[in-house]
Structure 1
Amino acid sequence: MALTLENFIDSLDPTTLPRIIQIQSGIYFQGSVYEMHGHECCLATGEVIKVIGFKIAKVKAESYRGIEDNNFTSTVELPLDYPGFFKVLADPTPYTSVGDITKSVQIGHNRLGHPHFCSNMDIQVNDAFIKEGEHIVLNSLADVDGEQYVNCTVIRGGKNETLRIPLSHKGTFYECEDDQFYTLKEIMEWKIPKHRRRAVKLAKTLAVWEPNPYNEYLQGDLSLVPVYEIQAVMKFRKDIVHIPSNLDVEVVDVTELYDINSFVQPLSLSDVFKRPNEDFPLLAEIIECTDQNQHIYSSLKTGRVIVIHEKHFAKTTIASENRSDLNKKHFLIPKSYKGRFKRRPREFPTAYDLELANKNNDHLHVIATKEFSSDHAELSSVCVGDQFLVHQCQSIEVSCEGDKRLVEVVACEKIMGKDYEQVLLPTYMEGSFVEVIHDKKQYHISDICENFSLPFNVKVSIRDLSINDNLAALPSLRIEEEIADPCLLVSLLDSPSECFKIPVQRVNMSIQVLQEPATKAPCSTPKTIVEEISEDLYYMLRRYENSTLHPPPRPPKKPQSPITSTTMLKLLPPQPRKLDPPKSPKNSPTEMPRNKPKSQKYVPDITGKPENIVHDVTITEHAKERSDRRASATDLMLLKAKSLAVNIESLDLADKHDYEYIDENKVEDLRKQLNENEHQNKKNCKKKRENR
């Protein structure tokens, strides 16, 4: 049965690829070329195409305005790199089995691929019991004794229980509410179920596009629909063609009638990595390699024949240039890097950071660069230049307005010449510490990752002479995290000495596996490549590897004395003295008969700006009105000050996370503003008198 190309892709199961389709009704553009901008725009009727993959190229966002807007639905196409964050709304449609869930949602190795579901009834799985409403986290798929399972984690309070649930388990499962925010690309890759739409709500748009042409279309709840790009191979073409799924053509699946091997079968590096270890080594030809990777892998060009020896997870370290501005560089340093590093001082903005850095018994020695005054007698104050040896973290009770309060502190030894004083620093203290380095050793990158807690500041002391070492010129480098990078070990057939570790997630390369099997030959040591990565890739790698980090503890509320009448008087600004109206000179209009009608009397404007003043109003009335307006403005400022004091009195001092307190700087600014206004009014009056 013929289907539109869009319906065919929407109903296609990716696990059944490749599929062969035949064009039933083609599409032509008069006067057009066969290929435009790398995408096929003309397909002839009867043409046979092998579909090897498809990906999301853009997204259609539909918003429903409601009855007040006559049930109007607006649709806009968004690029995948739209600079905004979205909140994913839970899918209300239930799943009838665990197998249905795994077929519809993406389950991956990082935390974005761990969806949460719950059951509307209690379920029993072997010896495990899952209550109604408990969050079930799907981690990975497993095959045990011929039966397929999903490895799950059940969240119960502060403890998690791991178990396996067979895919055949029946029930009614619902997606759980998600409180995280995602980019549009992350939603399309990980959070959109197969054969379903995804309801989202725009949470924040980054200030990248000004003005933003999409703002008016992204109001309220949105329904996201992916628009796919098909990757296919034609009968007499060797390269991969890209076909938009919304072309107005009809196709029919003829996979059973054709020999798939008669087509070129391009594979991505990710496809090759999924093969079992027994398939290696492989002999392959490079069909396509994007230009963005040629500066690193310049030898891997289209048409070259390569030997793929094996696959493995390579340990790689993420590092960044240690500088305060936003233009810092980011690198991936392999374990084979032969350079050596010396330690550089680290900076710690709070005492909580000292406790985190000291968990691995680093014997931390720091010097304070910022003062801190303690509000409790049990805790120590800090002066600039104080030096401390950091020990463990503990909890103590402190007195606060007659009450006892539990506070997390870091126990330290304060260096007093040749003596040491035991002190306690609260973890919330807003200080600043710089590490004192006593270690003059030189370390390999593997030594740093194994023996020290990260992040860790270093400088290249001995450069790697086997490469063009771009790390040696940096004054300081911050070693941040070690990741497992899936790689393929590849060498050139005609040049076995050139061997590479190619990361499958960052190199876009298509290959064709050749029929001749590759012989198992020893591979030379792969080239060491210090890869500089973009800022987007840097944050993506760190986000996928890291779980949610716990923020530092919030500081307790600053102790406050009760508001008294004396404090109220201090809060209020001084009363400004009203100016007496100026004396009228002789032969002035004040000596003339005042017989003007009442309708010409001045009425103050509500904005405080006199616009319609009658010309024969006396100077005395002018002065009186100006004085009245100044008094009104002063009264308004006094009301604001009183309102501030009333708000302070209404604070709940028992709330340990309430940081509201009297800001004396604001009160002082209020006083200055009043004085400046009064002084300016005096100058204006004097200037007007002189002009008259």
Structure 2
Amino acid sequence: MEPVSLQDFVCALDPASLPRVLRVCSGVYFQGSIYEISGNECSLSTGDLIKVTYVRLQKVVCENPGTGQTMELAPNFQGNFSPLTGPQSYGTLEELVSAATQSSKQLPICFMSTHRITTKARVVPQEQPLKLEAVEMHHGTCCARCVLGTGARQVLLHLPLSQKGPFWELEPGPPRTLLQVLQDPALRDAILTCPALPWHSLTLMPQYEVEAIMHLRRTIVKIPSTLEVDVEDITASSQHIHFMKPLLLSEALARGGPFPLPTEILERLSDQPGEEEEDEEAEDQEQILLPLHFSGSFVEEMGDGRRYSLQDLIAQFSLPCEVKVVAKDASHPADPLPSFLGLRLEEKIMEPFLVVSLDSNPEMCFEVPPRWLDLTVVEAEGQPSQPAGPLPVVPVEELTEAFYYHLRKSPAFEGQAPPPRPPKSKGLRGQKQVSKAKGVKSSEAFQLQEPSLLPKPKRKTLQKVTKDSCNLYSEIPGHKKGLRPTKPITQDSDDEHDYEEMLEQFPKTL
């Protein structure tokens, strides 16, 4: 087959002959960097192979050949079309008959008038097909004997040859639907007429969407038939060609095998724990140091002292719960869990994964969760290598905090809020700055935090605290009820350590 444009190939294609394999003879690249528009393939390279599997009519462009005006018709357009014999019209019936005689056409011929024709018998609508059977005398006038309608509803009319038009000669045959016209090779590029359209003559230009398979394309490729590319049909010599379809690990997991499945890695599509996201999480973390003299209520939680396996523990207790690993896993001497003082079991998460090994080293296996690390692969030929022993199992894997919170945001945990994180501590300096911004002195801000049942003591300040807090506390005499202020607090003070002295008033309150 000689190369033809894709549009001509599709217009002449018999849908019953699909699939067809095409080779691109002259490629096209649409506007440099633009690769796809509206989901359609707009770039094809010379030598590419295309396996056409389906052709869909998208729309039909209707054009007036006289003015160049166009309009779009939907594929389900209900109007009927009649092909014209040529682009010219005739002013009278006599001119029409004369032209048919000169071209050696035999009667009957079909024609129509672009204007309404009124006779004694009836009114003929405009653009209504008529059949001219003969020329004969009728009541002393040379007339054209015409038939209106088809079948049992035929009406015989005698129209004088002087009847004015304009008249258009039609190809013989009944009017046809839009799809019938497009499927008839003889009517390709023909001049047509349709009473439902405003133009007396028109041409139709269909536009199709071609669905095809291409090498290393994971999905069906959609190509507009109007793409300016030449193709060659090589279906007869393409029986040995195999179109390789990429496969995602998630798709291999979803179809459930058969396993083992030999594959070749093509491209990594998505990798979701990412370093950028981890950096963002790290910025939100804040380390808090508590001094040993920090006052507070601390309680050590104790259990029943019994030992449980992990399976029994999850079955008998609700999560989260605090546990201590007291024995290593005998099958894993490097078990790191007993080294921790305590573990908090948050929840049970079911995550499907694939056990993957490398063809060069079948003994080394590792787990890949496709939902978090989806690789693009292609099925390889041949049988995969089988590991000699049982597949290794990784008992404990460390997850970063960023990955854990990202996991909690996944659809599997929809409706479940992740554990709250502790708020950032602004410290006394931050509280002082907020008080100043609101027009409140630091002493007034502290007053708002005092219990309402206690009397308001006289406020004094501690000495400026030095960096060595241990020395500060060692210098406080035990017999004194409080400290005396050595430096008054002013509103503009930049001292980071603002302490209120309440020790003198506190015993009296008690």
Whether these two folds match at TM > 0.5 is no
TM-score of the superposed pair, with normalisation by structure 2: 0.31
User: Which protein shows a greater Rg?
Assistant: 2
TM-score of the superposed pair, with normalisation by structure 1: 0.24
Compare the two structures and name the one with the higher strand fraction: 1
